């Protein structure tokens, strides 16, 4: 219901009338426009994009300021971009084909994490990613639409490693090779680079 006030014979209205028009102040003026029903279609593609954004954002929150990753990213980041947005951009670029988010690309990175990580007789790198992600405080999550499978804490850390590699945050250490070919020493360096320096 619209609320109408009229001090000194000037009328002001706020709110909606039925589901047809909305009255509101904007930049000191009283305006009216057609009411539009808010939409959130929760499509499959939207669910995939939100899962990717949530996963990389949760990883970025675990990068201490200051830390080596923070220092490397701020030094390598182009002027005008925030280090965290730049790293997120690097990860999202891996999920795109022709500038459009591609669910197959997202699933390929997940498949790479689940099935292709280096292993030898002493360890399985996926287990080390899970362990280091736990130490950083990352937690598993799942979306209820789009990509509905569990995105483990280790997978989120792996996405962060892919972002660092994709953006080339440093010219030494593990950041010069794709995380799919990392060994335990590379992962230990990556983990340590998250911690406050």
Q: Residue ranges of the domains in the chain?
A: 3-34, 44-192
3-class secondary structure, 39: coil
3-class secondary structure, 29: strand
**Contact call for residues 186 and 176 (beta carbons, < 8 A):** no
Calpha distance 36→179 (Å, rounded): 46
Task: Work out the end-to-end distance of the chain between its first and last CA atoms, rounded to an integer number of angstroms.
Answer: 56
**Contact call for residues 47 and 148 (beta carbons, < 8 A):** yes
Question: Tens place of pLDDT for every residue, the chain, 197 residues?
Answer: 555 566 555 667 788 888 888 888 888 888 888 888 878 888 999 999 999 999 999 999 999 999 999 999 999 999 999 999 999 999 999 999 988 999 999 999 999 999 888 665 556 899 999 999 999 999 999 999 999 999 999 999 999 999 999 999 999 989 999 999 999 999 999 999 999 97
């Amino acid at each position: 219901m619209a609320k109408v006030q009229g001090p000194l014979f000037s009328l002001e209205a706020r709110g909606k009338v039925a589901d047809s028009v909305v009255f509101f102040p904007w930049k000191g003026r009283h305006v009216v426009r057609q009411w539009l029903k808010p939409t959130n279609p929760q499509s499959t593609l939207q669910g995939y994009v939100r899962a990717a954004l949530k996963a990389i954002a949760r990883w970025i929150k675990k990068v201490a300021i200051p830390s080596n990753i923070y220092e490397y990213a701020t030094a390598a980041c182009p002027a005008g971009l925030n280090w965290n947005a730049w790293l997120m951009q690097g990860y999202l670029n891996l999920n795109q084909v022709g500038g459009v988010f591609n669910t197959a690309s997202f699933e390929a990175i997940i498949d790479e994490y689940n099935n292709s990580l280096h292993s030898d007789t002493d360890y399985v790198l996926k287990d080390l990613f899970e362990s280091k992600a736990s130490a950083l405080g990352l937690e598993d999550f799942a979306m209820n639409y789009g990509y509905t499978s569990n995105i483990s804490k280790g997978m989120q850390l792996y996405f962060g490693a892919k972002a660092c590699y994709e953006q080339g945050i440093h010219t030494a250490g593990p950041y010069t090779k794709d995380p799919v070919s990392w060994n335990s020493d590379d992962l230990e360096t990556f983990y340590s680079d998250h911690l406050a320096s």
